[in-house]
Amino acid sequence: MDWEVVIGLEIHAQLATRSKIFSGAATTYGAEANTQACAVDLGLPGVLPVLNEEVVRMAIMFGLAINAEIPPRSVFARKNYFYPDLPKGYQISQYELPIVSHGQIDITLEDGTTKTIGVTRAHLEEDAGKSVHEGFGNLTGIDLNRAGTPLIEIVSEPDLRSAKEAGAYMKKIHAIVTYLGICDGNMQEGSFRCDANVSIRPQGDSELGTRTELKNLNSFRFVEAAIRHEIERQTDELESGGKVVQETRLYDPVKDETRSMRSKEEANDYRYFPDPDLLPIEISPDFINEIKTSLPELPDARQKRIMKEYKLSEYDSSVITSSRDMADFYESTAKAACSVASLDVKSSKLTANWIMGEFSAALNRNSLDIKDSPVNDEMLGELIKRIDDNTISNKIAKEVFDAMWNGEGTADEIIEKKGLKQVTDSGAIEKLVDGVIADSTPQVEQYRNSPVEKQGKLIGYFVGQVMKKSRGKANPKQVNELLRKKLAKD
Ligand code: ADP
Ligand code: MG
């Protein structure tokens, strides 16, 4: 049986306001427990919530960025449930009338095609506090610093068809909220998190299968891994004659498995009703227009501009613009890399390759963000300039890059200090070439007796030998040309 995978994501993004959604308490991460929770966050009797206008502005920015509807009126609702980290006994959220509805997000798939994913709604809500299990013996501590932190919950249509698509969608939303500056996007600190709803159905069926909801997904990698596992588990279940039970499951990244947490609650379990303490939000067209004119450049627009301005491919430009930090880093590095006033195509492409390749790999290896990289844009730009003007080969550049990364100086300093300058002196190269040809009689014979279309491959051996003798410093293009010339004649 062929199964079709169906996924819908619910993403919580913490809005980057300085104070909470309904109180004046600070939202700074990492403060001492319960030092940033006021009477409103504690739900003390007699307090009243007051809406933070900045939160509304940010939600509208998001709505505009995804071409959504922003209805003139939206309403806060109480979602009732009991939990120790929720002192009021209800969470203020939105239910029937969310602030944003019916948006669209384009994701780029691996084959380069674009797919549009529907966003059902995005609503405002307050975060709950945290239960703390360490340091209290058999007891549990409650930290209410996070209570009342503003969140926007972004709910997708069940339009995603694979773990990869879900990952691409999540990355795209992450890019949009960080480009907008409405969320810091920090997943370790929980500022951006995701629940995935997963089901499968026989290929061609129009009815949706029973879904499970996966919680606790706080990295792009975990989202994809958890979904892959869940698809496998559901497939096994159905193919062995069983059933998928609608439930909430928890992903355990250490064991790389999902396990049942609780049976899924239904919306009516929460007894939603409009919060009598808060007036409906009324949004005027003027307010929306004012926000529209202040929107920054968004990922899709930036991707198209970078693709055109720097002559990059669709794929390269979409990787480069996948985060605002990377796009900023790319543009400043590419500018530092070109020696002339206007951008040149070769160094733009080279810059993209370096940032997506060596540079990203080094960041990953060291679990660093771009902002904390020991090699900055100026330094990387200078290195690329030296590849571009043939001072060093791309291969030697990797050695220089490692040295820069380890704090040994700038590219020029390292090239000078280590004597890495490329040999372009044709006399010196000719000597090396002659030496290799003299030492490789059988290979020379084989080359000369081979048809032209095979020679292209065989020449690699000679190039390799010459490069080795020059310790990587000979200009590969010159070596190639000279070898071809010399090998052609007897
Ligand atoms: P709830 O309120 O219980 O969380 P919703 O109906 O609001 O449920 O849906 C939550 C998310 O689950 C949405 O992103 C939606 O697209 C997705 N979803 C709903 N049904 C399915 C299904 N059968 N398979 C996969 N995803 C689903
Ligand atoms: Mg849900």
Mean pLDDT of 377-400: 91
> How many angstroms does the Cα of residue 288 sit away from the middle of ligand 2?
28
Residue-wise pLDDT tens digits, 173-199? 999 999 999 999 999 999 999 999 999
Residue-wise pLDDT tens digits, 310-331? 999 988 998 999 899 999 999 9
Ligand 1 pocket member 6 (CB < 6 A): yes
Identify which of 39, 57, 60 has the alpha carbon closest to the alpha carbon of residue 49. 39
Ligand 1 pocket member 270 (CB < 6 A): no
Going 188 to 189 to 191 to 197, the CA torsion angle's sign is positive
Mean pLDDT of 395-401: 93
Cα–Cα dist 98/112, whole Å = 33
Residue-wise pLDDT tens digits, 209-260? 999 999 978 899 999 999 999 999 999 999 999 999 999 999 888 888 888 8
**Top-ranked range on mean pLDDT: pick from 291-295, 336-340, 368-372:** 291-295
**For residue 394, what are its two tokens?**
């791309």
Note the pLDDT of residue 120: 98
Is the pLDDT confidence value at 3 over 80?
A: yes
CA 85 to chain centre: 30
Mean pLDDT of 22-31: 95
Rounded to 5°, angle at Cα 69 from 63 and 72: 105
Ligand 1 pocket member 211 (CB < 6 A): yes
**pLDDT band at residue 263, thresholds of 50, 70 and 90?**
confident
Ligand 1 pocket member 212 (CB < 6 A): no
Ordered DSSP codes for 144-180: -SSTT-EEEEEEE-S-B-SHHHHHHHHHHHHHHHHHH
Number of Cβ within 10 Å of residue 279's Cβ equals 10
**pLDDT band at residue 415, thresholds of 50, 70 and 90?**
very high
Note the pLDDT of residue 101: 98
Note the pLDDT of residue 134: 87
Average pLDDT, the chain: 92
**pLDDT band at residue 342, thresholds of 50, 70 and 90?**
low
> How many angstroms does the Cα of residue 158 sit away from the middle of ligand 1?
7
Asked if residues 264 and 275 have their Cβ atoms less than 8 Å apart, the reply is no
Asked if residues 168 and 107 have their Cβ atoms less than 8 Å apart, the reply is yes
Cα–Cα dist 489/473, whole Å = 26
What single-letter amino acid sits at 79?
K
Ligand 1 pocket test: which of 156, 197, 234, 248 has the largest number of ligand atoms within 8 Å of its C-beta? 197
> How many angstroms does the Cα of residue 66 sit away from the middle of ligand 1?
20
Note the pLDDT of residue 346: 81
Is the pLDDT confidence value at 422 over 80?
A: no
Cα–Cα dist 131/126, whole Å = 16
Note the pLDDT of residue 395: 86
Asked if residues 193 and 217 have their Cβ atoms less than 8 Å apart, the reply is yes
| More confident of the two residues 468 and 163 | 163
Identify which of 258, 235, 234 has the alpha carbon closest to the alpha carbon of residue 245. 234
Is the pLDDT confidence value at 341 over 60?
A: no
Report the number of secondary-structure helices (H) and strands (E) in the chain: 17, 15
Note the pLDDT of residue 408: 95
Percent of the chain with pLDDT strictly greater than 70: 98
E strands within 220-321? 247-252, 257-263, 273-274, 281-282
Cα–Cα dist 458/41, whole Å = 74
**Top-ranked range on mean pLDDT: pick from 109-123, 139-153, 340-354, 431-445:** 139-153
Mean pLDDT of 414-440: 87
Cα–Cα dist 411/337, whole Å = 12
Widest distance between CA atoms in the chain? 100
Ligand 1 pocket member 158 (CB < 6 A): yes
**pLDDT band at residue 53, thresholds of 50, 70 and 90?**
very high
Cα–Cα dist 236/108, whole Å = 30
Ligand 1 pocket test: which of 3, 4, 6, 10 has the largest number of ligand atoms within 8 Å of its C-beta? 10
